[in-house]
Amino acid sequence: MTIPLSQSTDPQAKAALGRLNQLKQQLNLTPSASSKQTVNDMNKERQAAEFNIQALATFWAGGEKAYTMRQNAYNLIKNDPELVVQPPRNFLELERTEFREFTMGQVFRLAKIASELGPEQKDYAYEIGHAIGIYSESFSMRFGVHILLFKNVINMLSNDEQRNYWLPLVEEMRIIGCFAMTELGHSSALRGLETTATYDIDADEFVIDSPTVTSSKFWIGMAGQSATHTVVIAQTIINGKNKGLNWFVVQLRDVKTGELMPNVIAGDIGSKVGHQGLDNGWIQFRKTRIPRSQLLAKWVSLDRDGTFHHAPNPVMMYATLIPERLSLVNGMTLMTTQALTIASRYGVVRRQGAKNQQIMDYQSHYVKLVPAITFMYMIQASFETLDAQFAVLTGGGGIDDEMVYLNHMGDLHAISACLKGLVGWYCSDILETCRRSCGGHAYSAYNAIGHIMNDWGVFTTGGGDNVVLLQQTTKILRFRLEQQLEQDIYPDLKFKSSTHYILNAKSYLEKPSWSLDPEHLNDCLKDFSLITDALYSILVKRLYSIHQAIKEGATENDLLLESVKAGELHCAAFLFEDNAQRFGRVKPHTLDSSVVNIMHRLTGLWGLHVLHTYSDQGYKEGFFTPAHVTGIEKLYLKACKDLRYQIIGLTDAWAYPDFVLKAPIGKYDGDIYEAYFDTILQAPNSTGVPAYHDKYIKPLTERQAK
């Protein structure tokens, strides 16, 4: 359910309420002792929190102002039928065509609200959009394609004149943009892209062409039905020579009629596993002509006489992939925290077993959920560091210093790539854990976890395949390690790199094993540097082993899985060290002390989780003994148990209203069973004789016995 039917003024909703009450009278349903118990259980769990939940919620949101603004945004959208599906309709039952239209309606409504609020309330308009995106991942993707991908390419790769022309159109949504990178036969393997942009010197125009079926731009969000313009990456042909990949702005549709432009063919790719509200499409360019001025010319340029000026480095053309990955990680965090909230609330009110205990009390339950919740907090806190680093790369919006860009591009590529890979895979496991944690009720579409999992599927490949991204991270780490060990070279950066530990690579390689006695492993929860020392020692040793194997003749493919594991570990270690700096060594005085305390405990648990999960890597290098591995597991399980009664407080701090979660079994007050049954009773055709009775059932049941 979204909002209680009794609060709605919609005639359909009132009629639905009448039907619901009539059905309940016929069924003569009364609350059971179990229903009352669920509310009591939820209250006790909430009271068990050893920290100020409101203060943690404020921290999670990014401060008091951000928290208040988000709650105001939730309150604004929840009763708006153009933004939130109102009963008796259910968001989780929308058909594809209906979903496509509703999602575009959300975009339209947001644009109208933003216009009414005006530029002085730009932050609030953004927060309203963020709230809608949390409610609907399809909206998040649809709006994100325009405002993040399309806008970011123009913002980061245009010259001043181009930016001044295009950005006002984008920001006011007088044009609607998409991001035409992937192709049917090439996905994100950019070197093999087939779309061409050939310069016609006589006409002073580029001719954009899709010469083959496999060169069709494919999976392009917003291209199916709604985008008027796109940014296209294409092989650039000038005077018969390929000058590499560059970005161009191309108009797809007439802004007034919606009809496709001449020599552009595009369509919707149809039904997908998830994101049915997003019109992913395909595009073919049939010698489409655009002015030379629509080559994005921040780092490249083309003179009228055909003289082409290359970028200082080809990687500059891929700058927008970093914010894309970071935005994907943010989206994955929002989806996973919703599933975790639902599973956690169900886990503390559902009782089962010989002693009728809460299922959350089973070790198999809390040991899976507590580290997953912890992971979310590690990512969220570290986004402050990542945002600051990205600001260095972009100079606050426009990349103006070539050397700053080139010196920092590799580092940010490494951390954004492995973060997307680790989050994508671990959160896939978390979602499956949430599904299993809710038993059979997770199979109901009305409890939202299935919907989240369907929307999730794209994230393991969209924005770059996780295997490839993690391998790329490890290649960068190996390059930095080789430079440090053989030439004593490390780049001069304006921020603390995620690879900073490589500066001490020689000392890490000299350590034969973890100096911490297995009998005193508890010390590492008091002194986080003991965990950091172990993680960095293992990482350097593994990277060195891979590097040596390559030098001795092994191929990259021979060591692919080891490289992927090293990339994961690098990311996990970054999250630990970044949070250890905040909550383990330097007291952040601006935060509530109870928030600092719980974040310190979560950071310690994350460190143990990483040691436990990647203990095989330490064992391979002889850094961990069997006693270390056994001791780490024992301490890890204890730390999970110690946080068992903090679960509801931790998930409450994400501050999702019931209408956003959509799941009756995830209700804030714990009164799940009546809400669940009410939802079922409101389902279309949930009672009565089915329309197909006379056609298929009656002919069977009225037959005479032979």
Q: Is the pLDDT of residue 390 over 70?
A: yes
pLDDT digits over 82-113, tens only?
Answer: 999 998 889 999 999 999 999 999 999 999 99
Phi, psi (5° rounding) for residue 157? -120, 5
Please, are residues 592 and 53 in contact by the beta-carbon 8 Å criterion? no
Q: Is the pLDDT of residue 1 over 50?
A: no
Q: Mutual orientation of helices 363-394 and 560-580 as an angle, nearest 10°?
A: 80
Structure tokens at 220: 């392009």
Average pLDDT rounded to a whole number, residues 21-32: 67
Phi, psi (5° rounding) for residue 263? 65, 20
C-alpha to C-alpha distance for 330 and 480, rounded to whole angstroms: 28
Q: Provide Rg for the chain, Cα atoms.
A: 28
Structure tokens at 325: 């990955």
CATH of 321-651, one of 3.40.50.150, 1.20.140.10, 3.40.50.300, 3.40.50.12780: 1.20.140.10
Please, are residues 671 and 78 in contact by the beta-carbon 8 Å criterion? no
- HSE-CB of 128 using CA atoms within 13 angstroms: 24
| Binding-site residue set for FAD | 182, 221
pLDDT digits over 175-233, tens only?
Answer: 999 999 999 998 777 888 999 999 999 999 999 999 999 999 999 999 999 999 999 99
Structure tokens at 185: 């036969």
pLDDT digits over 27-52, tens only?
Answer: 666 666 667 899 999 999 999 999 99
pLDDT-derived band at 460 (thresholds 50, 70, 90) equals confident
**DSSP states of 106-151:** HHHHHHHHHHHH-GGGHHHHHHHHHHHHHH-HHHHHHHHIIIIIIH
* Mean pLDDT across the chain: 92
DSSP letter (8 states) at residue 295 = B
Which pLDDT score is estimated for 685?
85
Q: Is the pLDDT of residue 523 over 60?
A: yes
C-alpha to C-alpha distance for 639 and 649, rounded to whole angstroms: 17
Domain(s) of CATH 1.20.140.10: residues in the chain:
321-651
Which DSSP helix (H) or strand (E) runs through 79?
Answer: none
Lowest average pLDDT, out of 19-33, 132-146, 324-338, 586-600, goes to 19-33
Lowest average pLDDT, out of 125-139, 270-284, 310-324, 402-416, goes to 310-324
Q: Is the pLDDT of residue 320 over 80?
A: no
Which pLDDT score is estimated for 323?
83
C-alpha to C-alpha distance for 87 and 3, rounded to whole angstroms: 7
Domain(s) of CATH 2.40.110.10: residues in the chain:
176-314
Q: Which amino acid is at 396?
A: G
Whether the bond between 88 and the residue before it is cis, its omega within 30 degrees of 0, is yes
- The SS3 assignment for 484 reads helix
DSSP letter (8 states) at residue 458 = G
Which pLDDT score is estimated for 463?
83
Phi, psi (5° rounding) for residue 703? -65, 145
Which residues, at least 6 apart from 11, have a Cβ–Cβ distance to it below 8 Å? none
Lowest average pLDDT, out of 298-302, 391-395, 670-674, goes to 391-395
Which pLDDT score is estimated for 25?
66
Which pLDDT score is estimated for 2?
34
Mention the CATH class of domain 176-314. mainly beta
| Binding-site residue set | 182, 221
Structure tokens at 416: 């954004």
- With DSSP H G I counted as helix, E B as strand and the rest as coil, what are the percentages for the chain, rounded to 5? 60, 10, 30
Q: Which of 28, 243, 60 is nearest to 134 (CA)?
A: 60
